[in-house]
Amino acid sequence: MLQRTLGAVILLVLPAAAVAQAFPAKPVRLIVAQAAGSATDVIARVVTPRWGELLGQPVVVDVRPGAGGSLGTEITAKAPPDGYTVLMANISTHGVNPALYAKLPYDPIKDFSPVSLVSTTANVIVVHPSVPAKSVKDLVALARAKPGMLNYSSAGPGSSQHLAAALLNTLMKIDTIHVPYRGSPPALAGVVAGEIAFMVPTLTTALPQIQNGRVRAIAVTGPKREEELPNVPTVAETVPGYDVVSWWGAVAPANTPRPVIDRLNADLVKSLATPEVKTGLLKVGMNAVSTTPEQFSQYIRDEIVKWTKVAKAANIKLE
């Protein structure tokens, strides 16, 4: 009986061990569900060369934008759970979208096996230089003096920029007008052109325009000040409880074998610790961050809860 039991255990363990040894035997596809040139795409291209070297196979970026990130996310969810298709998930695909849409073509929890968090960055409130607001306090005062007249742009309805501004509206009880664009670059261009009063883009998107003086940064949205903008305060210094951090992380289809997840995680974590990846991300306003699969899974769940509360308070619901 003991021999039979041991034999059964060995049969269960051997396939997992074989999978771990065999993987990866071909290139890994990393799907980017946002447009080429987006922050998600930039991060993927900084991280993948070193990650691929450690895996022993190339990690090939596959840009599949559309439907607010849902297209590429759905492709990943329906891919074979073998580790050869991975998604660069983000605050939109696995945080904001689940909070806003009654129906999505994927379940952010059930359809994925988290690998690791990859990067985080604060957003930053920027205004056109002609806007007479040099602080969050000034911006709030301006909005209260002109209710329903101050506008802000975003990458589209339900985008992280939309929710970041909506959270400020809710906490400060102000009324500003949302003007959605098709993507972050044109939304920021609207501020640069003076058509839009303010925006809350990622630091990565806004930093070049801040540095050349085309927009003015008045606050960063994370829990601490950013190295790139040491003299720019956090929103929370004026608005207690305000905390918005954009994030990116790798997820594989659900039921991907645990040995494969562990291999993807181990080499991704190692790559994020290398000087070239850390420096590459810092140059575009990003921080390299890594987690265990379990930690990332809980992070995603917490983000969905957080943004569901914000969407409900701001009465934002999308079909």
Split at pLDDT 50, 70, 90, the class of 21 is low
pLDDT given at position 5: 44
242 vs 109: which has the higher pLDDT: 109
2, pLDDT greater than 80 = no
Q: Under a CB-based contact definition with an 8 Å cutoff, are residues 55 and 215 in contact?
A: no
The pLDDT value recorded for residue 36 is 87
**Residue type (1 letter), 110:** K
Q: Is 124-237 in CATH node 3.40.190.10?
A: yes
For the chain, the structural domain boundaries read 2-120+247-313, 124-237
pTM: 0.82
Q: Is 66's pLDDT higher than 90?
A: no
Tally DSSP H helices, then E strands, for the chain.
Answer: 12, 11
Q: Are 281 and 287 in contact (CB under 8 A)?
A: yes
- Residue 102's pLDDT band (cuts 50, 70, 90): confident
Q: What is the CA radius of gyration of the chain?
A: 21
Q: What percent of the chain has pLDDT over 70?
A: 93
Read off the pLDDT of residues 145-202 as tens digits, 9 standing for 90 and up: 989 999 999 988 878 889 899 989 988 999 999 999 988 889 999 999 999 999 999 8
HSE-up of 105 (CA within 13 Å, CB side)?
13
Angle at which helices 293-313 and 160-172 pack, to 10 degrees? 50
Same fold, 2-120+247-313 and 124-237: yes
**Average pLDDT value for the chain:** 90
| 2-120+247-313 fold | D-Maltodextrin-Binding Protein; domain 2 (3.40.190)
Whether 209 contacts 128, CB under 8 Å? no
